[in-house]
Amino acid sequence: MKRLLYVAILIFIAYSADAQYKWEYGLKIGGANYLGDIGGQAGIGRDFVPWDMHLNQTNIAIGGYGRYKVSKRLALQLNLNYLQINDADAESTNPARVARNLNFRNRMLELGLKGEFTVFYDNDVGGRGYYNPDFRLYIFGGVSVFRHNPQGQILFDPNDDFDAGEWYDLRGWRTEGQEEEYGTFGLAIPAGLGLYFTFYKEWRVGWEISYRTTFTDYLDDLSTTYADPELIASRLSDPAEAAAAVAFSSQTNQAIIDAIDDPLNSGSVNDHSYQEGFSTKRGDPSQNDGYVTTQFTVGKVIRGSSNFYRKKYSWLRNRTGSRKSRAKF
């Protein structure tokens, strides 16, 4: 009897060690939005304030991930995302931003590594004794590198000089008179909240929301002041491209600005300094741009086995009616 008990204990230890579920891989799909100088609500732009976003400007965010469980509560996740952020002053409720009349889109590729800390878990959701599914709620933080390329459209074209709907790469135009182009690569600090359910000790379905703090103010191609249109044009060898660069930078809606500056409207706008003209305000360099993603995840747990377990006890996996031990996720 003691011998059988000893064998049972060894089998239980081997099976439990085998069921640690260290690795997982999967897919993410959801949406991305941004906080920056373009768009926004009635007041001055605010960083890290979700209600300053335009939800109707939310765009795609898709990717893949791999997760490694370090301990009971700690895990590491490597992820690769493709996402797009975009917005337009025409969407704003701030008349001054509407008058500025700028827009952008930015298609980004992001590679990130983050640590996850479980703040709550339930290995037996519903308390039915089957330990299926289990649940985890976690917070995370990390670091990511992204590649980006802001683009814009010419929306004010009274003479029909340009193709409607065409997107232009803005970085090379140096639309604010920069001596050098801003970089195509950037660094971000992701932080957020996530959760997942594990079904049949094999499949995981979850959700994450993550805000990225960045170290650039040019995700939307604007930060400081308007540049001299002649300077912008002089740096471009192609006359057609130079004309497009000047047109994009000079599409301010003067009629709206005149209405804002009307004495009858005095004090009705929080910030009406966005006005075309050399060295006048175009953006706000005091706050960097940021972006947020919310994504659903579907993952597959990789179940590894030790050599000891494979040789001695692999037959237990296929045995019907065998008693199952509580798995630790």
Pick 3 or 268 by higher pLDDT: 3
Nearest-CA neighbor of 119 among 183, 73, 69?
A: 73
Tell me how far apart the alpha carbons of residues 87 and 287 are, in angstroms, rounded to a whole number: 17
Report whether the peptide linkage leading into residue 133 is cis, meaning its omega lies within 30 degrees of zero: yes
Give the angle 113-114-116 at the CA atoms, nearest 5°: 150
Cα Rg of the chain, angstroms: 27
What is the pLDDT averaged over residues 240-262? Answer: 80
Q: Hey, where are the domains in the chain?
A: 20-318
Pick 80 or 3 by higher pLDDT: 80
CATH class of domain segment(s) 20-318:
mainly beta
Tell me how far apart the alpha carbons of residues 316 and 104 are, in angstroms, rounded to a whole number: 59
Per-residue pLDDT of 166-220, as tens digits, reads: 999 999 999 999 999 999 999 999 999 999 999 888 899 999 999 999 999 999 9
Nearest-CA neighbor of 201 among 121, 307, 123?
A: 123
Nearest-CA neighbor of 192 among 23, 44, 302, 30?
A: 30
Per-residue pLDDT of 17-39, as tens digits, reads: 444 568 999 999 999 999 998 87
Q: State in Å, rounded, how far the first CA of the chain is from the last one.
A: 32
pLDDT at 283: 87
What number of other Cβ atoms are within 10 A of residue 297's Cβ?
Answer: 24
Nearest-CA neighbor of 58 among 105, 114, 128, 8?
A: 105
State the average pLDDT for the chain: 82
pLDDT at 262: 62
Helices (H) and strands (E) in the chain, counts: 6, 10
pLDDT higher than 90, residue 304:
no
Instruction: Pick the range with the lowest mean pLDDT from 106-115, 138-147, 232-241.
Output: 232-241
pLDDT at 49: 54
Task: State the pLDDT confidence band at 50, using cuts at 50, 70 and 90.
Answer: low
Name the burial class of residue 44, with classes exposed (0-12), middle (13-18) and buried (19+) by CB atoms within 10 angstroms of its CB: middle
Which spans in 91-223 are helix H?
95-100
Per-residue pLDDT of 72-98, as tens digits, reads: 899 999 999 999 999 998 888 888 788
Task: State the pLDDT confidence band at 137, using cuts at 50, 70 and 90.
Answer: very high
Contact by Cβ (8 Å): 274, 282 = yes
Could you give the C-alpha distances from 306 to 164, 309, 312, in angstroms and in order? 62, 5, 10
Q: What is the pTM of this model?
A: 0.80
What is the token pair recorded at 263?
A: 């004495």
Nearest-CA neighbor of 81 among 114, 115, 110?
A: 110
Residue type, 257: I
pLDDT higher than 80, residue 235:
yes
Specify the length of the chain in residues. Answer: 329
Task: State the pLDDT confidence band at 274, using cuts at 50, 70 and 90.
Answer: low
Helix (H) or strand (E) holding 211: strand 203-214
Nearest-CA neighbor of 226 among 173, 150, 284, 279?
A: 279
Contact by Cβ (8 Å): 259, 95 = yes
Pick 145 or 260 by higher pLDDT: 145
pLDDT higher than 90, residue 289:
yes
pLDDT higher than 90, residue 152:
yes
